[in-house]
Amino acid sequence: MLGLVLAAALHGCAPGDAWAASAHPLSEAAAPPPGFGRVELSSGSFAAWVRRLPVQPEGALVRTWDGKLAPQRFYRVLRVSALPLKFRQDLEQCADWGFRLWLEYQASTRRPDDCWLLDYNGRRVRFQDWRKSGRGASLDSFFRWAASNANSHSLKKGLGKVAGGPDLMPGDLLVQNETGGIGHASVILDVAVDGQGRRVYLIGFGFMPAQDFHVEAAGPGQGRGDWFTLEGFQEFLTEHLPYGPPVLRRFSD
């Protein structure tokens, strides 16, 4: 049940069960366009969890790690995530939000020792093994390690490939990185389909400097209402985040 203060996140408890008091699930805050319905998802899956990502009330603004308003640049903010940044430093950027959501989900559905993230080279690292290395004792410190060392290159190299648009599910990523250095990662948050099989997507991302994760609204010609078509979001990336063509990736066990 949403409504508790998010205080214990990533300390070995179940962070996915505790959200900010004013938060609402994204699935209740953003209806599909007329003629579209949400795709069915397996109960308890990562996709179903992401669909219910808690968001702040309408009108909330994106803020950076130091509490300042984020440069709006090209943003069309639909909603801002209610998950607060974990660290008071310029650390949690776009790829790190992919890791954050995956770790939050894992910590709410399994033993902490079974949670895993990626190192820079895309290799899976289990919390149990990482903890035994003496680098930290909490999931919080495990996430800090991943945010400090891995990036969009890690996601591109280490996660499973998704065949194409019709297979995309909430939690999947559009990853841009051609050099191993600076890139970008966007997260599919929801998927809806109409009677002709046409699909639209709610998509969100973080950016630089470290800032709140937000849901981006589609602009004119990019989709239906606030929901993007895949082609529309690819055009958005080409115009505003030109870090190379995106590849589709998925967290899975």
Reply yes or no on whether the pLDDT at 52 is more than 80.
yes
- The pLDDT-based confidence of 72 (bands split at 50, 70, 90) is confident
Q: What b-and-e string marks burial along 34-55, b requiring 16 or more CB atoms within 10 Å of the CB?
A: eebeebebeeebbbbbbbbbbb
Q: Confirm whether 85 is domain-assigned.
A: yes
Reply yes or no on whether the pLDDT at 19 is more than 50.
no
Q: Confirm whether 152 is domain-assigned.
A: no
Q: Confirm whether 111 is domain-assigned.
A: no
- The pLDDT-based confidence of 252 (bands split at 50, 70, 90) is very high
| Predicted local distance difference test score (pLDDT) of residue 61 | 95
At which residue do the structure tokens 């033993």 appear?
111
List residues bridging with 77 in a β-sheet: 216
Decide if 216 contacts 205 (C-beta within 8 A).
yes
Q: Confirm whether 197 is domain-assigned.
A: yes
Give kind and range of the element (H or E) at residue 202. strand 199-205
- The pLDDT-based confidence of 16 (bands split at 50, 70, 90) is very low
- The pLDDT-based confidence of 15 (bands split at 50, 70, 90) is very low
Total of domains in the chain: 1
Other CB atoms within 10 Å distance of the CB of residue 22:
13
Q: Confirm whether 120 is domain-assigned.
A: no
Decide if 233 contacts 174 (C-beta within 8 A).
yes
Decide if 211 contacts 64 (C-beta within 8 A).
yes
Q: Which two tokens stand for residue 252?
A: 């899975």
Q: Confirm whether 108 is domain-assigned.
A: no
Q: Confirm whether 112 is domain-assigned.
A: no
pLDDT per position as a tens digit, 87-140: 999 999 999 999 999 999 999 999 999 999 999 999 999 999 999 998 889 999
Where are the alpha helices (H) located in the chain, listed in sequence order?
A: 26-29, 46-51, 94-109, 127-132, 139-149, 152-158, 230-240
| Predicted local distance difference test score (pLDDT) of residue 135 | 87
Q: Which two tokens stand for residue 88?
A: 């008071």
| Predicted local distance difference test score (pLDDT) of residue 190 | 99
Give kind and range of the element (H or E) at residue 142. helix 139-149
In whole angstroms, give the CA distance from residue 181 to residue 60.
31
Q: Confirm whether 107 is domain-assigned.
A: no
pLDDT per position as a tens digit, 199-241: 999 999 999 999 999 999 999 999 999 999 999 999 999 999 9
- Domain ranges, residue 74: 23-91+159-250
Positive/negative CA dihedral, 115, 162, 155, 79 = negative
pLDDT per position as a tens digit, 155-195: 999 999 999 878 999 999 999 999 999 999 999 999 999 99
Region 21-38 average pLDDT? 93
Average confidence score pLDDT of the chain? 91
- The pLDDT-based confidence of 10 (bands split at 50, 70, 90) is very low
- The pLDDT-based confidence of 7 (bands split at 50, 70, 90) is very low
- Can you give the pTM of this predicted structure? 0.91
| Predicted local distance difference test score (pLDDT) of residue 21 | 61
| Predicted local distance difference test score (pLDDT) of residue 253 | 85
Reply yes or no on whether the pLDDT at 5 is more than 50.
no
